[in-house]
Structure 1
Amino acid sequence: MTSPEPAPKRGPAVGRGSRMRAAVLEAAIGELTETGYAALTVDAVAQRAGVHKTTIYRNWKTPDDLVADALTHHFATDVPIPDTGTVEGDLRALARSLVATMNTDAGRALLTTALSDAARTPRLAEIKRALFEDRFRRAEPVVTRAVGRGELPAETDPAELLKTLVAPVYFRLVFTGEPVDAATADRAVAVALAAARARVLAAP
């Protein structure tokens, strides 16, 4: 005779307001990381956050609203823009920051959600697109400064260079499942700089 499985542990009570909101959003990220978008339930998020599910429904009309808010909360923040004095140093800092982020629970949650059926829902597709566009916009000064210093050709398109920079990282994460680390980031910088200096990253 097998023993019954223990009930999921309920998180500590978190009260209301900002503490409740933070706990629920953190719990949503945890559920996305562990079970994925398709298996996420409001009951499980409430259990993890230590709130009643009616509290969640009062603040988020649908699970998609909750997921969108959780991802935005974790990623739509000010991104420190490096200014090391060289484009190589700046791009290395950006690439290593991306690698560090994608190795966190929130980064893995973003990736699994972006690759799931969630990407087909208009709200989450819009959030995903906005998050990436915001990241590129914030990082553009790294490229424009480098052009101004003469380190890159004048026709270098910031968005094209930044997409080239992150592509090797996301290829490993999405297609090969290989781990990403500082060495991955540094190789991505070398590839992006070589492409820019070969004058193949002009605006389309």
Structure 2
Amino acid sequence: MSKSEMSEQTEASRRPGGRSARVRADVLRSTLEALAENGTSSLTVSEIARRSGVHATSIQRRWGALPNLILDALLSYSQEQLPVPDTGNLRDDMVALARLIAAYLNTPLGVALAQAMATAEEDPQLAESRAQFWGTRYDVTRVIVDRAIDRHELPADADHQLALELLVAPLHFRALLVRQPVEEDRIERMVDTLLHGLAGQASARTRPDSR
């Protein structure tokens, strides 16, 4: 093989859609499917290898411990299914994000993954992966609050994490606990209530002490 042919082959292997990308996609897809069907308690690298057709040693060499693979699979799927909206104002961003989460939780895979993460046994590595997952999702979505602060829709000391938790929690409550759909008007009322509460917090912080 000539140097130019070797260079072309190397470049092809690096391009998105090459063999490495296909292997990663197959492994992540198989991980999600196994998680959705069996949860975290019985998930093994051997099972993922069987489903994906990728040798277990190749999976371990690339991801190391199983929790690393679970984290990669969940974050990649969330990034694909839950992109951060940028509508130009806080209310529409919140409504758009809530709609995406509601749609995600309205699919068999979405609700199964949420249940698996919520009921995972407290294995230290799995607990760490779960914390990293939510921490990363928080870091990604806090830009919504950051932009609102820049536009003076929220005060500079607005609580990013509280705002996002108050948006996400009711959606998971409906999907995982009462198992009811989230109607469009409920999403808008939920966001309006959340924003009213944030505005009230800001007013309380700036109100002079009347004592």
- TM-score, with structure 1 as normaliser: 0.72
- Measure, in 2, the Cα distance between the counterparts of 1:202 and 1:37: 44
Q: What displacement does 1:137 show?
A: 2.7
Which amino acid in the other structure matches residue 50 of structure 1?
Answer: G
Residue pair 2:81, 2:104 contacting (<8 A) in 1 also: no
Which residue does the alignment assign to 1:193?
Answer: 195
Pair 1:51 & 2:75 matched: no
Question: Aligned runs of 1:160-175 on 2, under 5 Å?
Answer: 160-175=162-177
Candidates 132, 136, 139, aligned match of 2:138: 136
Residue pair 2:82, 2:101 contacting (<8 A) in 1 also: no
Which amino acid in the other structure matches residue 87 of structure 1?
Answer: L
Q: What displacement does 1:25 show?
A: 1.3
- Measure, in 2, the Cα distance between the counterparts of 1:109 and 1:78: 15
Q: What displacement does 1:100 show?
A: 2.6
Which residue does the alignment assign to 2:78?
Answer: 75
Which residue does the alignment assign to 2:6?
Answer: none
Which residue does the alignment assign to 1:64?
Answer: 67
Q: What displacement does 1:199 show?
A: 1.5
Structure 1 unpaired stretches of 5+: 1-14
Which residue does the alignment assign to 1:111?
Answer: 114
Residue pair 1:160, 1:202 contacting (<8 A) in 2 also: no
- Measure, in 2, the Cα distance between the counterparts of 1:125 and 1:62: 13
Q: What displacement does 1:185 show?
A: 3.0
Question: Aligned runs of 1:92-111 on 2, under 5 Å?
Answer: 92-104=95-107, 107-111=110-114
| Identity across matched positions, percent | 37
Higher mean C-alpha displacement, 92-101 vs 46-55: 46-55
Q: What displacement does 1:155 show?
A: 4.4
Q: What displacement does 1:30 show?
A: 0.5
DSSP-derived class of the 2:163 partner: helix
Of structures 1 and 2, the larger Rg is shown by 2
- Measure, in 2, the Cα distance between the counterparts of 1:92 and 1:151: 15
Question: Aligned runs of 1:6-45 on 2, under 5 Å?
Answer: 17-45=20-48
Alignment size in residue pairs: 188
Which residue does the alignment assign to 2:153?
Answer: 151
- Measure, in 2, the Cα distance between the counterparts of 1:129 and 1:40: 19
What CA deviation, in whole Å up to 9, does each residue of 1:79-124 have, x standing for no partner?
7443323221111112112223333465335412322234x22333
Which residue does the alignment assign to 2:10?
Answer: none
Structure 2 unpaired stretches of 5+: 1-17, 206-211
Cα distance change on mapping 1:157 and 1:31 into 2, 3 Å: same
CA RMSD of aligned residues (A): 3.3
- Measure, in 2, the Cα distance between the counterparts of 1:127 and 1:201: 38
Q: What displacement does 1:181 show?
A: 5.1
Which amino acid in the other structure matches residue 95 of structure 2?
Answer: R
- Measure, in 1, the Cα distance between the counterparts of 2:144 and 2:60: 42
- TM-score, with structure 2 as normaliser: 0.70
- Measure, in 2, the Cα distance between the counterparts of 1:145 and 1:65: 31
Which of the two has greater helix per residue? 2
